[in-house]
Amino acid sequence: MHSGDAPAAHARRSHRTARATLVVLAVALVILLLIAAEVFRRTSAEEAERASDPAFVTAPTPLPSGAPGSLIRSEEIDSAPVGTRAWRVLYHSRDLAGSDIAVSGLVVVPEGPAPENGRTVVSWAHPTTGAATACAPSLALDPFELIAGMHELLAEGYAVVATDYPGLGVEGASSYLLGVPEANSVLDIVRAAGRLDGAGTSARVVLWGHSQGGQAALFAAERAETYAPELSVRGVAVAAPAADLNALMTDDIVDVSGITIASFAIAAYRDAYAERFGEEAILSILTPEGAAATPDMAALCLLTHTEEIHAIAEPLVGSYVTADPATTEPWRTMLAENSAGGQPITVPVLVGQGEADELVRPAATDGYVARLCAAGTDVAYHRFPAVDHGYAAYATLPELLLWLPTLDSPREPHDTCG
């Protein structure tokens, strides 16, 4: 190479490098624009869908009669996760007194044809989001976010349904920590999914719940044979379940969490039990300061107004109630009636519990599992070191995914009970 060629070669290499850099930048720009367009599309679709939600979850007045689980209305969700189909549903259920009510929720299935015998349904029961109508998970900008393990379950071929519970989404009496109406809604949304064209669901059901949802799922397992005999419940899985409400209230009423839980439960228990015990007897558990603050707390949603709730609750620590509700009538009886264990569970049970949980304490779950064992229930119990209440469902998820396939094959009972 001539000495004069070196600068020219260097210039050509620089030109090629610059051109390659421009190509890379152009491709990156195109990718970013595509991502931005997709984000804009999904956000716009979600916002448009959310804008229609108040109309969708407004039940007809008067409510036309319908069997539990029959559809009032449904709409497909355009912004469903990739590879899935999803619907919002409004369906008939029953309250504590057996009256016909409307409940909202979600149905999500894998995209594509269902198996010939239909998809097994996992009915998800969510943890506490609040007691006000606006606190329904299906009304969130991302209504799928709080369904623990949804993507993993869909990938395994399951259909996933998620009730809001009575009083959330649809205007009506709150069902907060009332086991029967919560359980009814968990079972009735499975029935509703079976009436959707394209969902391809079967009558096979697994119940899955966290915290408040653990209580709802356990009650659903107890009630399924009599309330929804056409459904085939294969098992129930719960994470940090609010199984023993008396223990939960005793453990927590002395702190902000307990005050928050109690404030959400007050209106639900007053409405459900006023005729039986009298409103004055139910509300007498509150101090004057507690009574004044309760409506303000109960109007807020836990996940979006945590700071506001805590600002109200913190000054009330030690002065919210006149006595421990778990040992004071009629609260002692009401809490006991809404604690799991009133009826036997005849299907396998999976329980997960974080050892760092300060809301549902490990000792309370230990006690509930011991009662299941004494009743001869097939129980798999897993405790997770350093896991707190918020992560209990996600810690339990790997065990759930291993446990689910065992429910449809001959199996030996788990050795938890010895």
Q: Do 330 and 256 share a domain, yes or no? A: yes
Domain CATH for 89: 3.40.50.1820
C-alpha torsion 357→165→236→162, nearest 10: -100
Tens digit of each residue's pLDDT, the chain (418 residues): 444 444 444 455 455 445 544 544 444 444 444 444 444 444 444 444 444 467 899 999 999 999 999 999 999 999 899 999 999 999 999 999 999 999 999 999 999 999 999 999 999 999 999 999 999 999 998 999 999 999 999 999 999 999 999 999 999 999 999 999 999 999 999 999 999 999 999 999 999 999 999 999 999 999 999 999 999 999 999 999 999 999 999 998 989 999 999 999 999 999 999 999 999 999 999 999 999 999 999 999 998 999 999 999 999 999 999 999 999 999 999 999 999 999 999 999 999 999 999 999 999 999 999 999 999 999 999 999 999 999 999 999 999 999 999 998 777 777 788 7
Q: Tally DSSP H helices, then E strands, for the chain.
A: 12, 9
Query: Which distant-in-sequence residues (6+ apart) come within 8 Å of 14 by Cβ?
Result: none
Residue type, 248: L
- Boundary of a domain, candidates 15, 31, 56: 56
Q: Do 124 and 1 share a domain, yes or no? A: no
Of the candidates 163, 182, 183, the one whose C-alpha atom is nearest the C-alpha of residue 173 is 182
Other CB atoms within 10 A of residue 188 CB: 29
pLDDT, residue 289, reads: 97
In angstroms, rounded to a whole number, what is the distance separating the alpha carbons of residues 123 and 287?
39
Q: Do 225 and 83 share a domain, yes or no? A: yes
CA 209 to chain centre: 6
Pairing, β 119-125 against β 159-163: parallel
Q: Do 142 and 169 share a domain, yes or no? A: yes
pLDDT, residue 184, reads: 98
Q: Do 41 and 128 share a domain, yes or no? A: no
pLDDT, residue 245, reads: 97
Q: Do 47 and 69 share a domain, yes or no? A: no
- Boundary of a domain, candidates 336, 364, 396: 336
Name the strand (E) or helix (H) holding 349. Answer: strand 349-354
pLDDT, residue 358, reads: 95
- Boundary of a domain, candidates 336, 362, 382: 336
Q: Do 187 and 159 share a domain, yes or no? A: yes
pLDDT, residue 84, reads: 97
In angstroms, rounded to a whole number, what is the distance separating the alpha carbons of residues 365 and 371?
10
Phi, psi of 102 (to 5 degrees): -100, 140
pLDDT, residue 414, reads: 74
SS3 per residue for 279-320: HHHHHCCECHHHHHHHHHHHCCECCCCHHHHHHHHHHHCCCC
Phi, psi of 75 (to 5 degrees): -150, 135
Q: Do 131 and 238 share a domain, yes or no? A: yes
Structural domain of 252 = 246-336
Name the token pair of 261: 């839980």
pLDDT, residue 53, reads: 60
Residue type, 359: L
Please return the burial class of 296, using the count of CB atoms within 10 Å of its CB with bins 0-12, 13-18 and 19+: middle
Please return the burial class of 112, using the count of CB atoms within 10 Å of its CB with bins 0-12, 13-18 and 19+: exposed
Q: Do 128 and 262 share a domain, yes or no? A: no
Q: Do 349 and 319 share a domain, yes or no? A: no
Total number of domains constituting the chain:
3
Q: Do 232 and 255 share a domain, yes or no? A: no
Q: Do 288 and 308 share a domain, yes or no? A: yes
119-148 in b/e form (b: 16+ CB < 10 A) is bbbbbbbbbbbbbbbebbbbbbeebbebbb
Beta strands in 95-158 (DSSP E): 100-110, 119-125
